[in-house]
Amino acid sequence: MRILLTGGCGFIGSAVVRRLIAASDHIVVNVDKLTYAASPEALEGARTHPRHLLVQADIADHAAMREVFATHRPDAVMHLAAETHVDRSIDGPGPFVTSNIVGTYTLLDAARTHWESLPAAARAAFRFHHISTDEVFGALGPGDPPFTETTAYDPRSPYSASKAASDHLVRAWHHTYGLPTMVSNTVNNYGPWQFPEKLIPLILINALEGRPLPVYGDGSNQRDWLFVDDHAEALVGVLERGAPGATYAIGARQPRSNLAVVEAICAMLDARLPDPAGPRHRLIRFVTDRPGHDFRYEIDPTRSEAALGWRAAHGFEAGLARTIDWYLANREWWEGVRAARYAGQRLGAAPAMAAGVGA
């Protein structure tokens, strides 16, 4: 297939590109705006592979998207481009509305025009896979069952509301126009190449430098954690084997509280690079919770596992160990990101992260 993949220089998108190039014969047209969170370096060997083409463009630009479809004539779309950081959405929701809602509409409009122009066999084979989040379902209480494909939507932040809107648009284009769309919702991802403002890399970097590890509230908020390469495998499975109109809830069965994640990072880092000042657990600081902080997210992936023949391969401890080792071995990358994108601010004091961290 010739796949038009949006956001392929982001954290999850780059993992999908790497997998598509390494484990298939598909051609990837990677459309990315190259915003602050993009890292073309994360494409690794796929960056210069003959089956990969990077196109710098904004998915909210109608003319640009129509040109991309007309030029490259894709057989499928994997839509990952999005603004994703909850704290940033609280500070400034505008870009989330533009990218996640307007951008998805623009892409759907261009995809529909392209799809309607295809011969019958190509129309039947075409797929539009929209990648979303479990945050659209709202918050779970301590004893609530995990989210599934049929959980009602109840978004609580500007970020999750914008993603919920984009999910609804995708399904509307399927039911109204017949565009063969699929939606997948997933849990918190982690792994190599994640932008340093996210929970795991931020805590790791702060701990390395002996700085405070600010945790929202009492750290009891819980998330399910999925290693990014496992997610990439599942996403390719949805594209290749998914049914139009279907939803796939992709989870890892690895729930942890934010505090447990921070403590695990401290312990693994202490084992690798002991701090003469003492165990890094001493650096944890509990700070005022962020507005509307959802207590718990968790997905029951049973139906998706059966439909895709997939299950997350990495337990949390094994995946976290791989992640920590990668950041230790690739300090030049994250130091460069920090220097270039925070203009002299220390990472922990950047506006989106000043109050604390939580997933």
Q: Give the pLDDT mean for 51-59.
A: 98
Q: What is the dihedral of CA 197, 200, 201, 207, to 10 degrees?
A: 110
What local confidence, expressed as pLDDT, does residue 359 receive? Answer: 55
Task: With residue 257 as reference, give the H or E element that holds it.
Answer: strand 255-257
What local confidence, expressed as pLDDT, does residue 357 receive? Answer: 43
d(CA 95, CA 343): 21
Judge whether residue 358 has pLDDT over 80.
no
Confidence of residue 84 (pLDDT cuts 50, 70, 90): confident
Q: Are 60 and 98 in contact (CB under 8 A)?
A: yes
Judge whether residue 315 has pLDDT over 60.
yes
What local confidence, expressed as pLDDT, does residue 355 receive? Answer: 32
Radius of gyration of the CA atoms of the chain, in A: 20
Q: Are 179 and 155 in contact (CB under 8 A)?
A: no
d(CA 228, CA 301): 16
Confidence of residue 343 (pLDDT cuts 50, 70, 90): low
What local confidence, expressed as pLDDT, does residue 342 receive? Answer: 61
pLDDT digits (tens, 9 = 90+) for 155-187: 999 999 999 999 999 999 999 999 999 999 999
Domains and CATH numbers, the chain: 2-190+227-250 (3.40.50.720), 199-222+255-294+314-353 (3.90.25.10)
What local confidence, expressed as pLDDT, does residue 215 receive? Answer: 95
Among 19-28, 86-95, 240-249, 289-298, whose mean pLDDT is lowest? 289-298
CA distance readout (Å), 54 to 10, 23, 39, 59, 79: 12, 19, 12, 14, 15
| Between 37 and 42, the higher pLDDT residue | 42
Q: Give the pLDDT mean for 346-357.
A: 36
d(CA 190, CA 304): 20
Q: Which residues are catalytic?
A: 134-135, 159
d(CA 137, CA 246): 17
Judge whether residue 4 has pLDDT over 70.
yes
What local confidence, expressed as pLDDT, does residue 111 receive? Answer: 98
Among 54-68, 76-90, 266-280, whose mean pLDDT is lowest? 76-90
d(CA 128, CA 125): 10
CA–CA–CA angle 189, 190, 194 (5° rounding): 110
The token duo for 246 is: 């279907």
d(CA 31, CA 193): 18
